[in-house]
Amino acid sequence: MREWLFTINGICGFGLAFKLDGFRLLYSAIATLMWVCSMIFSVEYMAHYKNKLRYYAFSAVTYFATVGVFLSSDLYTTFVFFEIMSLASYVWVIQDERKESLRAGDTYLAIAVIGGLVMLMGIFMIYVQTGTTDLTALSFDGSRMQFIAGTLMLFGFAAKAGGFPLHIWLPKAHPVAPAPASALLSGILTKAGVFGILLLSCYLFWGNEKWGTLILTIGVITMFLGALLALFSVDLKRTLACSSVSQIGFILTGTGVYDLLKEHNALAAGGVLMHMVNHSMIKLLLFMAAGVVYMNLHELDLNQIRGFGRKKPLLKIQFLMGALGIGGIPLFNGYVSKTLIHESIVEYRELLEEGVLMPFLYGKGLITLIEWIFIISGGITIAYMTKLFVVLFVEKNSDEERQKRFDEKKHYMSVASAVVLSIPALFMILAGMFPHFIPESFIRLSTGFLRSQALENFRYFSLTNLTGGFYSIAIGAVLYLFVVRKCLMKDGEYVNRWPKYLDLEEYVYRPLLLIVLPAVLGFLCRILDRFVDTATPVLIHCGVFVCRLADRFIDSIVVGLRKTVFKEEKLPQERIEGSPATHLIGSWMDHAIHVMNDTVWEYKPKKENAEHRLAMIHTKISENNAIIVRSLSFALSLAGIGLILILLFMLI
Amino acid sequence: MAKYLPLLIILLPIFGSVLIRLVRFKSRKAMCIYTEALVIINSILVLLTILLDHDVILEVVHFTGDLSISFAMDDLSVVFSGLVAFLWPLATLYSFEYMKKEEHENTFFMFFVMTYGVTLGIATAEDYITMYCFYELLTIVTVPLVMHTLTREAILASRKYLYYSLGGAAFAFISLIFIIHYGDTNRFILGGTLNLDLVGDRTNVLLLIYVLAFFGFGVKAALCPFNSWLPSASVAPTPVTALLHAVAVVKAGAFAVIRMTYYSFGADFLRGTWAQYVVMSATIVTIVYGCSRALKETHFKRRLAYSTISNLSYILFGCALMTPAGMTGAITHLVFHALMKITAFFCAGAVMYQTDRHYVYELDGLGKKMPWTFSVFTVASLALMGVPGFAGFISKWNLASAAVESKNPLAYVGIAALLVSALLTAIYMLSVVIRAFFPGKDFDERKVAECKDPNLLMLIPLGIFAVTVLLFGICSSPFTEFFAKVAAGM
């Protein structure tokens, strides 16, 4: 099919690039169909909810973003719309704002944000290394950096797709979201994640065995674990959510085999594509059916809703279609895609036996094991779908009055809802009955994107292919009869036997993110703060100490100097006034005065002490002399005199 | 006349603002109109200067040799002064409403407008000594703003602020002396002005001086371990916290670091030396430190203050990469973070003003009552997280790609720090948003019955900021190209 490219340059930093090819067209169309169906269903489902406007507004944003993801042509555009999709769909999860919804919302948001950031890191590494984010222009150069980048992106996409061990948001978020939103979350938002993984697997890592093995491993674990969780679950929507995890596991298994098969990938590619489409449709139907139950009963516990569907033939048929479809019963759509994936595993094993392909990590034996895990997972799927079907439509409620009320309820969904439930139901049977017609045309449409050959003359209903399906059915029947009826029921009630401590979120992620990480960082920060807080006073004290020392040092120099060089002279004892000369003259003068007093100044004697006066004059003169001698002017005048004398000397 | 424009834009607010205090206005309205007019006219003058007067050096005072007070509007100045000129009028508009409840308004607005001029002085300073002078002046004019409420807490905070800032500037001063001594000139020339012949074998001494100066200017940019003044200073009125402690003052610190690194010491001289490793490690530690503290903080404004600490170190990290790409990243984040953080702070201010709630746990359910405020806050949060389509993504991407290009092993640690910090930012910002919009089913609506959105004076700046954040996120290329040109010196 022709491709159309469309780019908007210069916005959002790098410009956005879109592409329309067969696969993208197909998935945009499926997204649109699913949105139309679930929004029509929402009219009835949401009739009594609060915040309807918010719900519809964010649904519209999510739709726009999801189609943006599917149409994006480079990783950057994918990332932009992926983030918008993740953040906008958060509002679905917390729509009713109950405590558990908010908690599930936290989980959802945390996974979305962490996944987004890790993915961004991967895109960033690819961009830095190659200068482009257009994956079609890239091929793996075998460097470790690119593989790490791919793994980081895989983390982000797998988180949204629900791959192990990041599947934890699905069982939490789906039961609390409104049913039409759950249908979209499970049917199409997870596919956006798968789309990202396909981008990596079909372009960057096309035919890379290491990558294929990685995806295959994740796929097998997810497939089996999800199915097991679903089997143990006693909540209608939780069962469906776990089933989504498991079905995503089937798709990832197919994707892994796709890469391992290299150019022989026609079967795997077809299987992956068809299982994506089928799972979208099936989950749309099943979640809306669960929505019908919830909107009538406001209960999801299997023991409470038991028997609701009795005497409601329309719902019964619709649900049955979904159950048969997902269970992979021949003549229904799930059988087609599961057979294709199963056959691709077989093909890989055969190619290994023939020596066309070299075993990478998984040899023939392990591939056979994977094949059996695949079949067993299919069996478990049948078992839990049987369980749901029997609970809803066969068994009677233990409370007879309740059952009576159930039976009396004739109007349980509007015509519009009934119609939109029938659309995917019809698809199940049509796609299952005419595998050469509908599924193969889808596959032909997508060969360009998936870089694979078209299927040729694949016989869906050959004996070998049917055998695989029958194995699953047999295992499912055994499991239902011996595990579900015997082990998972007690006194006619369904009980949750899944051990509590096997909860990754409660016992690993949440403590790690909410306790360990903040504690470690907080501890480090506190140490740093403490350090600063203690260092500052210590620094100040040191400074003061040094200053004081310095002070003392200067002081001691001063003291030292004063004690040595500048030692002050001791204050002299009071000297006898004057000098010997003044004494002599003074005493003479005193004698003279004495004589004069006796004679001339008889009537007017003088009372002065001449000796003392002379001594005072002497002191004054000597003080003045000292001042003069020390003064600069004296020095200058002496210098002047000296100069004059020199001048005179030179002149004379 | 056009020649004196750079001087005019500095002096007009400084002297014009004194009138706010001196003149007895007839009414509060008259004062507001005068203040706003002053700020807007000055912003227009800045715009004119940017358009007309490019790379003309205006020497105002000549000391000796080539020591002078001189101004010029070079490319980097255009970025910073343009940013400041865009934000100041809006912040002033916002403050009119916010300050209604506070006392001594005239004093507040005097210093608020004066700071505008001083910040422009830093932006347009043409040489190291001029920048240093205005840098010191900035500390002095902003202290009264921090102290505004005159509570004991505010006085202690302003004292702390003063000590830290002046102490830091003292270290920066040492580098000024060394630049004068060992450089050809102390003017700012892209590529550095150190004279390697003069430096001779004293490289290590100069590197030590660089590290000292980096931490010295880093004090204003709240570099760990000199960050504790910033959260304390959030006791100031919100416009001050928003404009000064998210834009003007702290960005002046970052701006000075960029000037010193790229225009005085020169990136080539520093690249690959131990000094680069030391300063880069400090910025990386601060990035993680700020986020972690923000996560633990329950006071709304202080949480944002810690977030500022972390984001400022993004800028310093870009600067410490010592490559043109790193500088581009630093400038981009300088501008974009200013917008994002002022938006966030103004939202916090609006909440505090309307409801008098200061702690994050008090914000439950407010989103429904104050839809506009919290929508804008959501935009700011997403932008700070770095969601594509918002401004923050562009700058973070630029920083990260610059880090990879630099081929510096420590820079990879820096990228990891950016990633951790983005995650923590998501937690501490979105937890506020989620609380506000989705309080839970059993939430008692009566608790928030009284709350409503603020009036238009507050909402208009908020709206403009939110639109700008989105606009920068969606069509960022003209800006980033210009920033790249600045860094390349074209």
**pLDDT of B318-360, one tens digit each?**
999 988 889 999 999 999 999 898 899 888 888 888 888 888 8
- Distance of residue B294 Cα from the nearest chain A Cα, in angstroms: 10
* pLDDT at res. B257: 92
**Between B159 and A631, where is the model more confident?**
B159
CA-based torsion, A540, A545, A549, A552: positive or negative: positive
Kindly list the residues from chain A whose CB atom is less than 8 angstroms away from the CB atom of residue B475: 10-11
CB of A61 within 8 Å of a chain B CB? The answer is: no
Option in B292, B430, B439 nearest A525 (CB)? B292
Other CB atoms within a 10 A radius of the CB of residue A226 amount to 29
CB of A651 within 8 Å of a chain B CB? The answer is: no
- The Cα–Cα gap between A606 and A281 comes to 145
Option in A80, A98, A106 nearest B388 (CB)? A80
CB of A49 within 8 Å of a chain B CB? The answer is: no
Q: Are A46 and A58 in contact (CB under 8 A)?
A: no
Cα–Cα distances (Å) from B391 to A177, A322, A391, A425, in that order, read 31, 45, 53, 46
**pLDDT of B55-82, one tens digit each?**
678 888 888 777 888 888 888 888 898 9
Q: For B147-273, where are the alpha helices, taking DSSP H only? A: 152-182, 196-199, 203-218, 229-232, 238-243, 249-258, 267-270
Please indicate whether, in this complex, the C-beta atoms of B225 and A94 are within 8 angstroms of each other.
no
**pLDDT of B445-463, one tens digit each?**
777 777 777 788 788 888 8
CA-based torsion, A588, A591, A595, A596: positive or negative: positive
What is the mean predicted confidence (pLDDT) over B283-306? Answer: 87
On the CB side of A40, CA atoms within 13 Å amount to 17
Kindly list the residues from chain B whose CB atom is less than 8 angstroms away from the CB atom of residue A83: 387-389
* pLDDT at res. A43: 87
Q: Are A479 and A76 in contact (CB under 8 A)?
A: no
* pLDDT at res. A573: 58
Biggest CA–CA distance in chain B, Å, is 74
Please indicate whether, in this complex, the C-beta atoms of A117 and B389 are within 8 angstroms of each other.
no
The residue type found at B455 is N
Please indicate whether, in this complex, the C-beta atoms of B296 and A124 are within 8 angstroms of each other.
no
In sequence order, what are the beta bridge partners of B67?
B64
Q: Which residue has the tokens 């439950």?
A: B364
Question: DSSP letter string over A131-198?
Answer: S---GGG------HHHHHHHHHHHHHHHHHHT-TTSTTHHHHHHHHS-HHHHHHIIIIIHHHHHHHHH
Nearest CA in chain B to A105: B434
Please indicate whether, in this complex, the C-beta atoms of B296 and A518 are within 8 angstroms of each other.
yes
Option in A94, A109, A518 nearest B430 (CB)? A109
* pLDDT at res. A443: 84
- The Cα–Cα gap between A157 and A82 comes to 9
Kindly list the residues from chain A whose CB atom is less than 8 angstroms away from the CB atom of residue B389: 12, 80, 83-84
Please indicate whether, in this complex, the C-beta atoms of A13 and B477 are within 8 angstroms of each other.
yes
Q: Are A136 and A19 in contact (CB under 8 A)?
A: no
Residue B490 has pLDDT above 80, yes or no: no
Q: Are B224 and B289 in contact (CB under 8 A)?
A: yes
* Residue B246: partners with Cβ closer than 8 Å, 6 or more residues away: B304, B308, B337, B338, B341, B342, B345
- Angle CA(B359)–CA(B361)–CA(B366) in degrees, nearest 5? 95
- The Cα–Cα gap between A290 and A286 comes to 6
What's B3's DSSP letter? G
Mean confidence (pLDDT) of chain B: 86
Tokens representing A397 are 């409620």
CA-based torsion, A237, A239, A245, A249: positive or negative: negative
Picking from B220, B183, B217, B187, the residue whose alpha carbon sits closest to that of residue B198 is B183
* pLDDT at res. A559: 79
* pLDDT at res. B401: 86
In sequence order, what are the beta bridge partners of A494?
A489
Please indicate whether, in this complex, the C-beta atoms of A12 and B474 are within 8 angstroms of each other.
yes
**SS3 state at A206:** coil
CA gyration radius, chain B: 22
Picking from B41, B13, B257, the residue whose alpha carbon sits closest to that of residue B120 is B13
- The Cα–Cα gap between A428 and A325 comes to 6
* pLDDT at res. A572: 57
Cα–Cα distances (Å) from A299 to A167, A175, A407, in that order, read 24, 11, 16
Option in A102, A114, A117 nearest B440 (CB)? A102
Kindly list the residues from chain B whose CB atom is less than 8 angstroms away from the CB atom of residue A524: 289, 292
Option in A11, A102, A121 nearest B474 (CB)? A11
* pLDDT at res. A476: 87
Kindly list the residues from chain B whose CB atom is less than 8 angstroms away from the CB atom of residue A96: 441
- The Cα–Cα gap between A280 and A431 comes to 13
* pLDDT at res. A219: 92
Kindly list the residues from chain B whose CB atom is less than 8 angstroms away from the CB atom of residue A76: 388
Nearest CA in chain A to B479: A13
Please indicate whether, in this complex, the C-beta atoms of A127 and B401 are within 8 angstroms of each other.
yes
**B interface toward A at CB cutoff 8 Å?**
224-225, 228, 285, 288-289, 292-293, 295-296, 382, 385, 387-389, 393-394, 397, 400-401, 404-405, 415, 419, 422-424, 426, 430, 434, 438-443, 473-477, 480
Kindly list the residues from chain A whose CB atom is less than 8 angstroms away from the CB atom of residue B285: 528
Option in A97, A121, A528 nearest B441 (CB)? A97
Residue A165: is the preceding peptide bond cis (ω within 30°)?
Answer: yes
Please indicate whether, in this complex, the C-beta atoms of A531 and B387 are within 8 angstroms of each other.
no
CB of A538 within 8 Å of a chain B CB? The answer is: no
Tokens representing B75 are 């490319």
In sequence order, what are the beta bridge partners of B299?
B359
This complex has an ipTM of 0.71
| Ranges of residues in chain A whose predicted pLDDT is under 70 | 1, 10-13, 566-577
- The Cα–Cα gap between B226 and A535 comes to 12
Interface test with B, best of A64, A77, A113, A514 (most B CBs within 10 A): A113
Domain ranges of chain B: 284-490
CB of A543 within 8 Å of a chain B CB? The answer is: no
**Between B6 and A630, where is the model more confident?**
B6
Kindly list the residues from chain A whose CB atom is less than 8 angstroms away from the CB atom of residue B440: 97-99, 102
- Distance of residue A334 Cα from the nearest chain B Cα, in angstroms: 38
Phi, psi angle pair for A472, to nearest 5°: -60, -45
